[in-house]
Amino acid sequence: MKKVLSALATLLLILCCGCSTGYREIERGYFVTAVGIQERENKIQIILETLSASDREPGSESVKILYGEGESLSDAYGNIKKSLVKSLYFEQCGVIAADNGFTENEISEILDFCNDLETLNIDVYVVRTDNAEALFETETAYKSVGYSIIELMKNSGSYDNAENQLYNIRKRYAGGSAEKLPSVNVKNDTLILE
């Protein structure tokens, strides 16, 4: 009887533990594919393009845009997190798009903030844009602005320089020399690299 109870307890322990080695199901959260940051009326706005499972069709994925506003980057991001039931995961984030209105010092602060985001991969392409909100509202071939910008970079040959770009740009800013960022904008509902 003790052997049966011991075997049963072991089986229950294995079932309760499950696989929790970093695997994240898309139903449990939002996977961020791109981050947009802009300033509007003396407030910072963060725009997150996310991929999430559709509630209507199990197994289907949809792009959802999340907005947060605040006095600082932390406030804006905190307001997004407060409004969500699911978690945010940044492993799939490929692009950070900062508005052209930011000074070099503000870009440096943005890079520091983004570098501290949980689970952000450092292989992130950093670009500037005339209007981050318009960029994220554009209907693109890939239905994800983040993936579309990466594809745009690949096609233009600029993507080769994107390896560990967030880390490299932060290092250059920390060293006192500003990095000239590529600019991606929207014209006629098309993303263009300027």
Q: Each residue of 133-144: pLDDT tens digit?
A: 999 988 766 678
Q: How confident is the model at residue 12 (pLDDT cuts 50, 70, 90)?
A: very low
Query: How buried is 176 (Cβ within 10 angstroms: 0-12 exposed, 13-18 middle, 19+ buried)?
Result: exposed
> Distance between CA atoms of 155 and 47, rounded to whole angstroms?
25
pLDDT at 61: 64
Q: Each residue of 51-72: pLDDT tens digit?
A: 876 555 544 568 889 999 999 9
Please check the confidence at residue 97 and state whether its pLDDT lies above 90. Answer: yes
> What average pLDDT does this structure show over 129-136?
92
Give the pTM: 0.79
Q: Which residues contact 38 (CB under 8 A, 6 or more apart)?
A: 44, 45, 47, 98, 99, 101, 131, 132, 133
Who has greater pLDDT, 174 or 30? Answer: 30
